[in-house]
Amino acid sequence: MDDFTKLFWELDGTTKTSEKTAALENYLKNAEAADAAWAVFFLTGQRIRRLVGTKLLRDWATQKAQISDWLFEECYDRVGDLAETISLLVPSAELADRTPLHSLIQDKLLPLRELTAEEQRSRVLELWEHMSQPQIFVLGKLMTGAFRVGVSKQLVIRALSAYSGVESTTLAHRLSGTWEPNAESFEQLVDPESSEAPTSKPYPFFLANPLKDGPDKELKEPENWCAEWKWDGIRAQVIRRADETYIWSRGEELLTEQFPEIADCASQLPNGTVIDGEVVGWCQGESRPLPFSQLQRRLGRKRLGKKLLTEVPVALLAFDLLEKDGTDCREHSLEQRQADLAKILIGLSTERQEGQSLFPNTEPDSQEPAIRVAPPVSDSPIMTWEAMASCRARAKELRAEGLMLKRAGSIYQVGRPAGLWWKWKVDPFTIDAVLVYAQRGHGRRASLYTDYTFAVWKENELVPFAKAYSGLSDAEFRKVDAFVRKNTKEKFGPIRSVTPQLVFELAFENIQPSSRHKSGIAVRFPRISRWRHDKSVGEADRLETILALASDE
């Protein structure tokens, strides 16, 4: 408990990723496997079901501190965190409690759930008596299931990787699903010898660069380019190997359980197949994707209800093949890969392989397989840029963001090298940025924080680069407003700085270098195009990316 408390305060005390990783690595080096297992469990965002009601904890702390209820409220109001308020009010021990983390949780905390309120009370009071103030705070966080310390799962994985030498993709996979926090699972997690992992490993994604001027200037001959729709969904790789299926996002998040329709369909793929595509919610009636906001409803859920599965069925619109018959085929030509992809997909049936149909209320034959070749832009080759441009103008009808232009005969590269893949969006520029300042709006929005300043990454720092006031629904504005009030860091007159946590996609018309702005750029007509619930702050865009756009102007 004591080492874990120290770790918590170290993580809490710094905003530097390198220091956080170092603190974690250091903890892992010294911790018993059973303790490390629980530490990883909590820090990767898993939580134990609430053991004791917060109202009870509050009452016991108020009694123990011998103060009135209203005074507890005054204190809570000042501190803003229940566990911390309690830790500052109840008498604490001078010396830290030495109980190992795993015994505290397994022997003292988990059994609480089975006890009566009176028994819980005496157990909790006893715990408090033997703990120091920082420990009581961490204990409160563990008990109320609200354990957040500004550490992403990715960061924990990085530290685990540095500590064990196991690759981060392997660790991400091993940590996915139901991971039991015990010594044995921790040892398996960090075992470099264990061989189970490679089957899950995705290929690095090949990413496109934005096209700013017309393609006729940059890309020259239209016959050298193949056009595809740029879908508005989640880029994903579907892997079928050794009778197992894995669906990876670009952020190396394992999405297999989020998209059972796709996983189920993938089980028909031959072993040794890796497909690249875009996951979208699919509207069968309209033969086009559902709005992205609908797809977002499918994300981040522990359980997918029937209703949601029926309302937002997903599909993988496949556009590339990276592995065929267990062999990496990324060096094959684009045309070859796509032809092979079509061959593999043509044999897929819509029937569910195991158990009941996912969609009991729909006719199975009205559906296409959940993994399918992405609908083409045109059935025949597009011969001129004018024809391409008029296709692009139709993108919104299909809820696509624009066109992807891929060089004929090109190989599948790694990362975002310039030259072979271009995205030619309808909205010329979009950037994922982080909300950092908020100010009240005007008129009907005067009571809400609706005027925002957004930042992007410059090295390890978020630099503000644009303000935007429009683009969210009233309901979304209210949610952001509530967030701003709860997460205000500082007030500068009417402006509040907020904890960087929310990511939004901003669209704008133009971009220019600017010496007047700290970020070095100025954007024209910025607006919020959507709230990226699916993105973490770390996934927001980097200033270099925007600067690259600006310099090409």
Q: At what angle do helices 82-89 and 54-65 cross, to 10 degrees?
A: 20
Q: Which residue number, 46 or 497, has a Cβ lying nearer to other proteins?
A: 497
CA–CA distance from 21 to each of 15, 167, 309 (Å)? 11, 15, 38
Here the tokens at position 482 are 């509530």
Cα distance between residue 70 and residue 516, in whole Å: 50
User: In this structure, which long-range contacts are made by residues 293-302, counting pairs with CB atoms below 8 Å and at least 24 apart in sequence?
Assistant: 293/530, 295/233, 295/234, 296/533, 296/534, 298/258, 298/259, 299/258, 299/533, 299/534, 300/533, 300/534, 301/258
Q: Shortest distance, CB of residue 489 to other proteins, whole angstroms?
A: 5
Given a contact cutoff of 8 angstroms between Cβ atoms, the answer to whether 205 and 237 are in contact is yes
Whether residue 230 lies in the annotated active site: yes
Cα distance between residue 157 and residue 174, in whole Å: 10
Q: Shortest distance, CB of residue 85 to other proteins, whole angstroms?
A: 7
Q: Which residue number, 89 or 143, has a Cβ lying nearer to other proteins?
A: 89
Q: Shortest distance, CB of residue 72 to other proteins, whole angstroms?
A: 9
Q: Which residue number, 268 or 488, has a Cβ lying nearer to other proteins?
A: 488
- What one-character DSSP code corresponds to residue 109? I
Q: Which residue number, 16 or 302, has a Cβ lying nearer to other proteins?
A: 16
Q: Which residue number, 139 or 295, has a Cβ lying nearer to other proteins?
A: 139
Cα distance between residue 541 and residue 519, in whole Å: 13
Q: How far apart are the first and last CA of the chain?
A: 56
Q: Shortest distance, CB of residue 86 to other proteins, whole angstroms?
A: 10
The residue ranges that bind other proteins (CB under 8 A) are 12-14, 65, 67-68, 70-71, 74-75, 78-81, 84-85, 88-89, 137, 489-491
Here the tokens at position 503 are 């990511």
Q: Shortest distance, CB of residue 499 to other proteins, whole angstroms?
A: 9
Q: Write the CB contacts of 434 (distance below 8 Å, at least 6 apart in sequence).
A: 454, 455, 456, 462, 500, 501, 502, 503, 504, 537, 540
For residue 225, the cross-strand partners are 407
CB-neighbour burial class of residue 140 (10 A; exposed 0-12, middle 13-18, buried 19+) = buried
Q: Shortest distance, CB of residue 43 to other proteins, whole angstroms?
A: 18
Nearest CA to 228 out of 489, 402, 1, 95 is that of 402
Q: Shortest distance, CB of residue 39 to other proteins, whole angstroms?
A: 20
Q: Which residue number, 88 or 426, has a Cβ lying nearer to other proteins?
A: 88
DSSP result, 77-126: HHH--HHHHHHHHS---SSPP---HHHIIIIIIGGGGGS-HHHHHHHHHH
Q: Shortest distance, CB of residue 2 to other proteins, whole angstroms?
A: 16
Q: Which residue number, 14 or 284, has a Cβ lying nearer to other proteins?
A: 14
Cα distance between residue 147 and residue 67, in whole Å: 27
Candidate list 230, 324, 406, 425, residue with the active-site label: 230
Q: Which residue number, 88 or 112, has a Cβ lying nearer to other proteins?
A: 88
Nearest CA to 408 out of 433, 372, 444, 383 is that of 383
Task: Return the biggest CA–CA distance within the chain.
Answer: 82
* Residues carrying an active site annotation: 230
